[in-house]
Amino acid sequence: MKKRHEQKLIILCIGLLISFSIPVSLLFNSEKEVFGFPRILVYVFSVWMISIMISFFIVKKYDE
């Protein structure tokens, strides 16, 4: 794997650590709902899905 792809994955991991930290996660902890789900669950699963898509595109470029 190229060094720049490894660096992109490390930056993604650091971003995920920050986005899943307690102070940031508690910003979305409220009584309001999105499509019938609590905002904290929508936040966690959307960040998780976006991170999977970003890592897929980074690794897919590695294969080329």
Whole-number percent of the chain with pLDDT over 90:
61
Phi and psi, residue 34, nearest 5°: -120, 115
Q: What is the pLDDT of residue 63?
A: 66
Q: Report the candidate in 48, 2, 1 with the shortest Cα–Cα distance to residue 25.
A: 48
Q: What is the pLDDT of residue 5?
A: 83
Note the pTM of the prediction, 2 decimals: 0.81
Domain boundaries, the chain: 3-63
Q: What is the pLDDT of residue 1?
A: 66
Would you call 38 helix, strand, or coil by DSSP?
Answer: strand
Mean per-residue pLDDT, 21-43: 90
Mean per-residue pLDDT, 5-21: 93
Mean per-residue pLDDT, 10-15: 95
d(CA 24, CA 5): 27
